[in-house]
Structure 1
Amino acid sequence: MQQSRRSNPYPFTWEIPLMLAVTVLLLLVLGVQAGRAAANLAAGSGVSFPPREAMFTSVPGIIAGDAGAGLPPGVPGGASPAAVRSWVAALELMILLVLCWTGRALWMRWGPHRVHGMASKAEAQGLLGRQRLHRVRAVIRPDLYGKDRA
């Protein structure tokens, strides 16, 4: 009902979806790197990240199970391939869950089917105060508290 009464003068363009896709891709790559670092830390090799140049190019090697892919020479990567894959999978799952939760929250807040112009009960109570809401209840809900009510 409200959607039909409102018009959006700004068309939906490609910038926002591109920004979201790049953000998700960057978070997933950082999750792979963090998973490898956590696997190496659990194996006792310490936390180490690759240089910026190898941040994206080392991802296939890490997914294959190489704990030292992209790391500078002399930095040990002591985790086993199974541990690397397990840590990467666990961190990627956590990142995906947080992304889904955030996406749903954003969609409910600013999506196309949100309710426009309605305050929640707590917002109205905080703005108007409990006593004022009680005093003007016949105006707010005349079907429940109006003078015509039999």
Structure 2
Amino acid sequence: MVGSQADAGQASQAAPVDDSALGVAADRVSRSTLRPAIAELQKEQKERAAALKDPRTAARQLLAERGWAGEFSCLDALWSGESGWDPRATNQSSGAYGIPQSLPATKMATAGKDWRTNPITQIRWGLGYIEASYGSPCAAQAFKQGHGWY
């Protein structure tokens, strides 16, 4: 006990720490850490605003990211026929939903919790589905022309 009291007494006599430098350093680290996250959030907000106005614009960008820039006309024909590019389009008989007409609609939840309303989320999911099932938008469009569905 005596030893711990002595240790406590020595600790209280230690020189005070100037933490203003620590605060400045921590603030710099926080800002440098947050800056990329804030930039990404701002980018996503701009993309979503543009996609709400014209989902085709977002699709062109997402196609280019996948190396499919030359396949937009196929995707446009496919999804114009499916949903008219309406993120809230619902097939009354089957329940297929959204721009890519996901069936069941809840499959798109794997792409994001905003799948019901966000065209970008729907387009990302739809492009993933097309790639996994057909290989490319033009292959999906060709399949649809031959079968009446994709």
TM-score greater than 0.5 by the shorter chain: no
TM-score with structure 1 length normalisation?
0.30
Larger helix proportion of the pair: 2
With a CA cutoff of 8 Å and minimum separation of 6, indicate the structure with the bigger relative contact order.
1
**TM-score, normalising length from structure 2?**
0.30
